[in-house]
């Protein structure tokens, strides 16, 4: 039976060694809870690091760990201290984490940690490959494993692979600064489905793929040579019922049953004559979470609105994280000092403005804090999603309470009923805090009702299921394509039809089919492979080889004039039969050039990288070397600008791959190809091409023609091959 393989840096378990025995406790983090439904309800295994390095085990312990993990359907990836240092603390947390959160000044790039990152990703791949079986689905999580999708794909091309990034994907301008940018993107593109928390991260990723790797993108599909990768946003939810029900139980507890922390909180709330209010913040101690800014903004708030002194208290829980990374140690010192200074500055005998906890708390204390705080103040500078914001709202059983949330969090996109602030604007934070503390209850209830409804509906289980469903759907897409893909048996069948036919004609497109695209069209000269293949075909009895191209007559004459293949150029304007002169296939002229050329020139001047190709009877405006977004925008505006002229001169615009070509209406590869069939009866007709302009040919040739598209793109062709190498495999089988 096929299974799901979940892979993340850490397994959803905590392991502790006590007196040479292993204890396991399940992790409480968002990911572990989120994946619970996928992991336990179905046949699945989870692969990741156990949290203990190889150096920490002896053989006996190792066996114990393996058994303990097995009980939870988990498999460990063995990592050494050195691996963890370079891969986790090094490249993941010193390079990717700051870069992806726009902290470029903290981003270090060291070749040695990059090498370890690569080798550890390979270690993960090895464990996955040892455990993978036909039909399995793979779901990889987060920035520590960006290379893993492709490492698995290389060995198991048929496997369905999903990847979800839990942190932001930065803008292209930031991402482009990293030296190994190509390798990271290629690694990710091994997946069939790439998920992000928000549309913005998705958009940034697509833009980097387009600009750095040059792949064509249609909507949210990335067209690789041999596959399509789907990209989509799936905002992660929380286990709503868990928080909501825990809060309900909490509210029903008698005084005696309450935790120590809750009793402390109660004392504070009772002290201020019921005017005391708690403002809560919870995060890992991380520079991305904006903790120092929050403290400064709170200080400013107390100065600007002194009426809240003695009443409002900030309860700040900062959970220790990555404590051996220097930036985190500096941050810890900064926060300690700030808290000390602010408390020293404002403290009264019965009131200190900040309660600061630097530790992790058990779940029930988290619920104490969520349920007792009138306001949650979450001010990350950048945050992929921020689950704390969602958990706070879920725990507000009476629907009261106000969430103040940074606009730099992924969560702010969905939580528009919260008070959204810019974490760098202290004025705004101070004013919003006052507004929150004074917000009438009806308004609080109104805002939170809407938020709760959404959080309950789109909970973490729904998130995980949506992702898995979308991944399943990509399997169907792949199936659709696989049906058309030329495999060995289809190739043999076409080749045998070719051999058995009495009269054969082959229509072969040139650019993108026989040779790869070049930055400049004049550089795509025919290689020896082109001539060897065409000569071999041409020598076959009763075989007519036709190169059919949009290229201009003079170039094709220069490159192929010495051969006696049949040549059709400019989409069917010109024909050269073997051993004959060029003749016009259509009545065309170029008098219209003088009205269109100046417009194309003005577009070229304003669009760096674009150029005009002047053929005898058509003009092509190429934008393959232009910034992709600008290219598309300018191409659209060019079409609008020349629309009227096109109609007046009986012209038409052909939209090719990053080119707009203006030519006399009615001239097409389809029309010219069918003309070639008029005088001779062929019992084997074959056409192959990669471009949009070849679609005319595929459409208009008779139904029994064998039509083949190069690359996975939308097509009316019967079959496709993945790339140019496969074109040659197919053509050389015709012998
Ligand atoms: C990354 C992304 C994205 C916190 N303190 C305690 C505790 N927690 C729990 C919270 C919450 C989780 O940890 C923190 O989640 P966040 O989303 O706020 O932040 P990151 O850890 O940075 O997570 C983030 C997330 O991945 C998911 O994709 O949202 O943007 O950075 O669930 O409740 N839990 C307990 N004690 C604590 O002291 N028990």
* φ, ψ for residue 618, nearest 5 deg: -150, 160
Question: Which of 247, 388, 390, 394 for mutating ligand 1's site (highest number of atoms within 8 Å of CB)?
Answer: 388
For residue 361, give the ligand 1 atom closest to its CA.
38
Q: Which among 28, 30, 166 is the best mutation to test ligand 1's pocket, defined by most ligand atoms within 8 Å of the CB?
A: 30
Ligand 1 center from residue 39 Cα (angstroms): 20
Does the beta carbon of 384 lie inside 6 Å of ligand 1?
Answer: yes
Low-confidence ranges of the chain (pLDDT < 70): 28-30, 33, 41-42, 272-274, 479-483
Distance of CA 612 to the CA centre of its chain: 34
Residue 664 and residue 110: Cα distance in Å, rounded?
57
672 lines ligand 1 (CB under 6 A): no
Pocket test for ligand 1, best of 246, 387, 408 (most atoms within 8 A of CB): 387
CA-wise closest residue to 163 among 116, 210, 128: 128
- Residue nearest atom 19 in ligand 1 by C-alpha distance: 386
* Residue 314, H or E segment: strand 312-319
The verdict on the CB of residue 381 being under 6 Å from ligand 1 is: no
Q: Is the CB of 29 under 6 A from ligand 1?
A: yes
- Shortest-distance Cα residue to atom 21 of ligand 1: 284
The per-residue b/e assignment along 679-688, b for 16 or more CB within 10 angstroms, e otherwise, is eeebebbbbb
Residue of 267, 709, 639 whose CA lies nearest to 485: 709
284 lines ligand 1 (CB under 6 A): yes
Nearest Cα residue to atom 34 of ligand 1: 363
- Give, in order, the Cα–Cα distances in Å from 226 to each of 125, 181, 205, 509, 511: 22, 21, 20, 19, 18
State the distance from the centre of ligand 1 to the C-alpha of 30, rounded, in angstroms.
Answer: 6
Residue 694 known to be catalytic: no
Distance 636 CA to ligand 1 centre (A): 45
Ligand 1 binding pocket mutation candidate from 235, 247, 361, 386 (most atoms within 8 A of CB)? 386
Ligand 1 nearest atom to the CA of residue 359, by list position: 38
* Nearest atom in ligand 1 to 411's CA: 29
- C-beta of residue 669 within 8 angstroms of C-beta of residue 693: yes
Alpha helices in 485-620 (DSSP H): 488-500, 528-539, 553-560, 593-606
Q: Which atom of ligand 1 is nearest to the CA of 168?
A: 30
- Cβ partners under 8 Å of residue 283, min gap 6: 289, 291, 317, 318, 319, 378, 380, 388
Lookup result for tokens 């800014």: 293
Instruction: Tell whether ligand 1 has an atom less than 6 A from the beta carbon of residue 183.
Output: no
**Does ligand 1 come within 6 angstroms of the Cβ of 235?**
no
| pLDDT given for residue 276 in this prediction | 84
Helix (H) or strand (E) holding 706: strand 706-710
Whether ligand 1 lies within 6 angstroms of the CB of 28 is answered as yes
Beta-strand (E) ranges in 153-235? 160-164, 193-196, 216-218, 221-223, 228-233
**Ligand 1: distance of its center to the CA of 617 in Å?**
64
Strands ordered across the beta sheet of 611-614: 611-614, 618-622, 659-664, 651-656
Query: From the alpha carbon of 31, which atom of ligand 1 is closest?
Result: 27
Give the span between the Cα atoms of 458 and 467, in whole angstroms.
12
Q: Is the CB of 514 under 6 A from ligand 1?
A: no
What is the model's pLDDT at position 482? 63
Can you tell me whether residue 584 is helix, strand or coil?
strand
| Residue 391, ligand 1, Cβ within 6 A | yes
Q: Which residue's CA is the closest to the ligand 1 atom numbered 33?
A: 388
Residue tagged active-site, from 509, 690, 691, 694? 509
Q: Tell me the CA–centroid distance for residue 35 and ligand 1, in Å.
A: 15
Q: Is 404 helix (H, G, I), strand (E, B) or coil?
A: strand
361 lines ligand 1 (CB under 6 A): yes
Please tell me what DSSP assigns to residue 333.
H
Question: Ligand 1 centroid vs 385 CA: distance in angstroms?
Answer: 9
- Please tell me the distance between residue 79's alpha carbon and the centre of ligand 1 in angstroms: 24
282 lines ligand 1 (CB under 6 A): yes
Distance 130 CA to ligand 1 centre (A): 32
Taking every pair of Cα atoms in the chain, the longest distance, rounded to a whole number of angstroms, is 105
Two tokens, residue 562? 């010495």
Does 368 sit in the ligand 1 pocket, CB within 6 Å?
no
439 lines ligand 1 (CB under 6 A): no
Partnered with residue 574 across adjacent β-strands are 569, 584
CA of 28 to the centre of ligand 1 (A): 9
Give the number of other Cβ atoms within 10 Å of residue 466's Cβ.
Answer: 16
Say yes or no: CB of residue 236 within 6 Å of ligand 1.
Answer: yes
Q: Which of 31, 239, 282 to probe ligand 1 with, by most ligand atoms within 8 A of CB?
A: 282
Give distance in angstroms: CA of 550 to centre of ligand 1. Answer: 56
- The structure's pTM equals 0.83
How far, in Å, CA of 426 to CA of 300, rounded?
7
Measure 29 CA to ligand 1 centroid, in angstroms.
6
CA count, 13 A, side-chain hemisphere, 49: 21
Counting Cβ atoms within 10 Å, is residue 625 exposed (0-12), middle (13-18) or buried (19+)? middle
Mutate to test the pocket of ligand 1, among 98, 242, 328, 385 (most ligand atoms within 8 A of CB): 385
385 within ligand 1 shell (Cβ under 6 A): yes
């Amino acid at each position: 039976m096929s299974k799901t393989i979940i892979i993340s840096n850490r397994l959803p378990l905590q392991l502790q060694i006590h007196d040479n025995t292993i204890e396991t406790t399940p992790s409480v983090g968002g990911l572990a809870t989120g994946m619970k439904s996928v992991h336990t309800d179905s046949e699945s295994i989870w692969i990741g690091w156990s949290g203990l390095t190889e150096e920490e085990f002896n053989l006996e312990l190792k066996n114990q760990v393996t058994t303990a993990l097995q009980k939870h359907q988990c498999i460990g990836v063995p990592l050494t201290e050195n691996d963890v240092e370079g891969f986790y603390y090094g490249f993941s947390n010193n390079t990717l984490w700051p870069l992806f959160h726009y902290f470029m000044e903290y981003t270090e790039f060291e070749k040695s940690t990059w090498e370890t990152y690569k080798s550890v990703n390979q270690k993960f791949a090895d464990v996955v490959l040892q455990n993978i079986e036909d039909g399995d689905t793979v779901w990889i999580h987060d920035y520590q494993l960006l290379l893993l999708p492709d490492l698995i794909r290389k060995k198991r091309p048929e496997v369905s692979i999903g990847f979800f990034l839990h942190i932001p994907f930065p803008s292209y301008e930031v991402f482009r600064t990293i030296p190994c940018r190509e390798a990271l993107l290629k690694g990710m593109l091994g997946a069939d489905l790439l998920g992000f928390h928000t549309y913005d991260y998705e958009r940034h990723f697509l833009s980097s793929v387009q600009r750095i790797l040059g792949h064509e993108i249609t909507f949210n599909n990335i067209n690789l040579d041999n596959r399509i990768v789907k990209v989509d946003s799936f905002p992660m939810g929380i286990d709503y019922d868990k928080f909501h029900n825990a809060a309900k139980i909490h509210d029903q507890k008698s005084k005696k049953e309450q935790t120590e922390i809750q009793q402390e909180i109660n004392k504070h709330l009772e002290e201020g004559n019921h005017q005391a209010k708690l403002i809560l913040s919870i995060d890992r101690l991380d520079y991305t979470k904006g903790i120092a800014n929050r403290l400064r903004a709170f200080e400013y708030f107390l100065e600007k609105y002194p009426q809240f002194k003695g009443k409002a208290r900030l309860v700040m829980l900062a959970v220790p994280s990555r404590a051996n990374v220097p930036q985190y140690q500096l941050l810890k010192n900064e926060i300690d000092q700030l808290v000390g200074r602010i408390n020293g500055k404002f403290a009264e005998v019965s009131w200190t403005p900040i309660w600061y906890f630097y530790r992790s708390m058990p779940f029930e204390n988290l619920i104490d804090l969520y349920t007792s705080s009138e306001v949650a103040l979450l001010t990350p500078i950048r945050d992929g999603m921020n689950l704390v914001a969602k958990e706070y709202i879920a725990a507000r059983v009476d629907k009261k309470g106000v969430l103040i949330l940074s606009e730099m969090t992924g969560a702010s996109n969905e939580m528009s009923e919260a008070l959204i602030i810019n974490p760098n604007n202290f004025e705004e934070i101070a004013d919003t805090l006052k507004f929150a503390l004074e917000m009438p209850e009806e308004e609080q209830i109104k805002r939170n009702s809407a938020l709760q409804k959404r959080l309950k509906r789109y909970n973490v289980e729904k998130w995980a299921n949506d992702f898995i469903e979308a991944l399943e759907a990509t399997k169907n897409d792949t199936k659709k394509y696989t049906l058309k893909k030329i495999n060995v048996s289809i190739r043999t069948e076409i080749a045998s039809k070719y051999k058995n036919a009495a009269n054969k004609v082959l229509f072969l497109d040139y650019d993108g089919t026989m040779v790869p695209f070049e930055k400049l069209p004049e550089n795509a000269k025919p290689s020896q492979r082109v001539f060897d293949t065409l000569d071999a075909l041409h020598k076959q009895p009763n075989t007519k080889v036709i190169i059919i191209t949009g290229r201009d007559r003079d170039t094709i004459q220069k490159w192929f004039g010495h051969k006696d293949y049949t040549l059709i150029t400019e989409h069917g304007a010109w024909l050269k039969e073997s051993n004959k002169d060029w003749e016009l296939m259509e009545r065309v002229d170029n008098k219209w050039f003088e009205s269109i050329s100046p417009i194309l020139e003005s577009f070229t001047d304003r669009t760096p990288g674009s150029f005009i190709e002047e053929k005898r009877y058509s003009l092509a405006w190429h934008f393959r070397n232009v910034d992709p977004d600008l290219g598309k925008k300018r191409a659209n505006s060019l079409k609008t600008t020349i629309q009227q002229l096109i109609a007046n001169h009986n012209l038409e615009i052909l939209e090719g791959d990053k080119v707009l070509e203006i030519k006399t209406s009615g001239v097409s590869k389809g029309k010219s190809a069918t003309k070639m069939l008029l005088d001779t009866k062929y019992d084997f007709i074959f056409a192959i091409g990669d471009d949009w302009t070849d679609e005319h040919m595929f459409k208009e040739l008779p139904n029994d023609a064998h039509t083949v598209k190069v690359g996975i793109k939308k097509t009316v062709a019967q079959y496709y091959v993945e790339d140019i190498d496969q074109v040659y495999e197919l053509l050389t089988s015709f012998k």
